[in-house]
A and B are shown apart, each in its own frame.
Chain A
C-alpha cells in the first residue's frame, strides 16, 4: 500500500528548497520594505520607517518613468511578436521542403543566453564596427547612434526582443493550430463565410486558450526583461531604456538603500501580478460574440 507519508517524503526536499529560496525572499522583502536599513554601513541599524519607503516611491519620477517605459516596451514587443508569430505559424502549417531544418533554425534564438543576445546586438549596432549603423548611413542616410538617440535605443531593444522571442510565439501558436479540428472550417466554407469571418469567428475563439497562454508568458517575460537590455544599452542613453528590472538593479545596489529597494521590489511584484490579473479578467471574462 502506498502511504501518503512516503509521498510527502519524496516531496520534502523540493518543498524545502523552494520554500527557502523561493518563498522566504518574498516575505523577507515585505519585511525589509518597512525599514530603513543599510547592513554594510558603519553602524547598521534597522530603523522602522512605516510606509515612508512606499510614500517616497509614489513621488519618485524615475521609478514611475521606468514603469511607463516597461509598459511601452511590453506593449510593442508582445503585439509585434503575436502578429509576426501568428503569420509564421500559419506558414509552418503548410508543407514545404526542409521544413524541419527551418524550424530548428527558427528555434535557435530561444536557447541563446540573454546576455549573449545582448552582446550580439551590441556588436551589430556599435558605431564604427557594426554593420547596422554603417549600412543605414550608406543606404538610407540615417544617422544611427545607439548611445545618443533615445528613440533608436528604444526601438533597438524592441527589435532585439522580437528577434529573441518571436520563435516562442510561433511554436506555441503552431502547437495550437496543429491541434485544431478541420470540420468547423470546412463547414464554414460550405456555408459561404469569407476568410475574415472564418478567422474572426472560428479560428480566433478556438485558438484563444493557446493565444492567452502565450500572451501571458510573453507578458511576464517582457515585464522582467533585464539581461539583454543591460548588455545592449545599459539602460541608456539617459534613461531611455531603463526598464523596471534595470532600474531596481541600478538604484538599489550602488546606493545601498535597501529598505527603499525592498519597497520598490514589492510594488513591482504587486504591479506585475495586478497587470496580469487585470488582463486575464478583461480577456477571459469577455464572452465570445455570437456569430
Chain B
C-alpha cells in the first residue's frame, strides 16, 4: 500500500514530464537536422548534432539585429521597470498617501486589459500623436521599452510591495533618526535588503519583455523588430525553412531555460500579479 502510494505519483509525473518536454524536445531535434533529414519518418530520436541551422540563423544579419533589438529592449525595460517599481513601492509602503488603495488597484488593472484591444489606439498614438517633427515613436526601441512598462510595472510593483513591506520599518526609521537622507535610506538600508527580491522581479520582467510578440509585431516595421517577430515572419515567407525556424525558437527559449531554476518559486506570484501567494 505504501509502495503504491509513491509509485503512482512518480509514474504520472514521468508521463507528465515527457508530455511537457515533448514540444521543446521536438524543437531541439528539428533544429539539429539537415533539410534532407527532416522529411521522412519523423523519428523523435536525435540523429546527431548538426549545427548548420544555428549557424545560418546567427550569420543572418537580420536575425542578429533582431536578437540585439530584443536584448536592448528587454534589458532597458527591465532596468526602468525595476528602478521605478522600487521607488513606487517605497512610496506606497513608507508614506501615508491619500487614496493609496485605489491607486494601487489602478496600477494593477493596467496588467489585466486584453493586449489586442490596445493595439489600435497605440498604433494610432505611435504614428499620429506621439510625433515630434519627423520623429515618431512607431518602429523605435524606446517606443517598445516604454510600452512594455504598462504590463511589467504593475507586476513589478505588486511583487516588490510584498518585499518592501517585509523589510522592518524600524530599520529605515532608525537610520533617519541618525540623520540619513531619504536617498541614503533607500540606497544603503532598503536596497541591500531588497536585493534578492529585486533580482527575481528583474528576471521575470526581463522574460516578459523578451517574450512579448503582439505589440512588437504591430508597432515596429524595420528598425525595432524583435526576435519574436522574426520568428513569426519565418512562417509567412514561402517555403519555410523548418530547421532554421526551430533553431531560432531554441534561441528564443534559451533565457527561459537559464532562468527557470531561479524564478521557478516566484513565477506564480508573477503570472497571477501576486493574487495567489505561494
Contacts and interface: CB of A to CB of B under 8 A. Distances in A.
Interface of A: 2, 4, 6-11, 13-15, 17-18, 20-26, 28-29, 32, 39, 88, 91, 94, 96-98, 102-117, 119-124, 126, 128-131, 134-135, 163, 167-168, 171-172, 174-176, 178, 210, 213-214, 217, 220, 223-224, 226-227, 230-231, 234, 244-246, 248-249, 252-253, 258, 261-262, 265-266, 268-269, 272
Contacts of B105: none
Contacts of B103: 11, 15
Contacts of B72: none
Contact of B252 (A115, A167, A220, A272): A115
Interface in B16-36: 16-17, 19-24, 26-27, 30
Contacts of A7: 91-92, 94-97
A11 B207 CA distance: 24
Contacts of A246: 116
Closest 7 CB pairs of A and B: A7-B95, A245-B116, A224-B114, A113-B211, A10-B91, A25-B121, A111-B256
A223 B114 contact: yes
B213 A213 contact: no
Interface stretch (B46-54, B59-67, B194-202, B266-274): B266-274
Contacts of B273: 217
A124 B23 contact: yes
6 contacts: A17-B84, A22-B110, A96-B13, A214-B276, A226-B214, A265-B120
Contact of A220 (B20, B114, B116, B157): B114
B158 interface: no
B42 interface: yes
Given A105-B20, A119-B246, 10 more contacts: A22-B113, A105-B17, A111-B260, A112-B211, A115-B213, A119-B231, A130-B42, A226-B115, A245-B116, A245-B214
B124 A28 contact: yes
A220 B84 CA distance: 26
Q: How large is the interface on B (under 10, 10 to 19, 20 to 34, 35 or more residues)?
A: 35 or more
Interface of B: 5-6, 9-10, 12-13, 16-17, 19-24, 26-27, 30, 38-39, 41-44, 84-85, 87-88, 90-92, 94-98, 103, 107, 110, 112-125, 127-129, 146-147, 149-150, 153-154, 157, 182, 207, 210-211, 213-214, 218, 228, 231-232, 234-235, 242, 245-246, 249, 252-253, 256-257, 259-261, 263-264, 267-268, 271-273, 275-278
Nearest to B13: A102
B182 A120 contact: no
B256 A108 contact: yes
A14 B12 CA distance: 45
Chain B binding site: helix, strand, loop or mixed by DSSP?
A: helix
B74 to A, nearest CB: 11
Nearest to B275: A213
B84 to A, nearest CB: 5
Contacts of B23: 117, 120-121, 123-124, 163
Given A8-B91, A21-B146, A269 B114 contact: yes
Contacts of B116: 224, 226, 244-246, 248-249, 265, 268
A59 to B, nearest CB: 21
Nearest to B114: A224
A97 B9 CA distance: 10
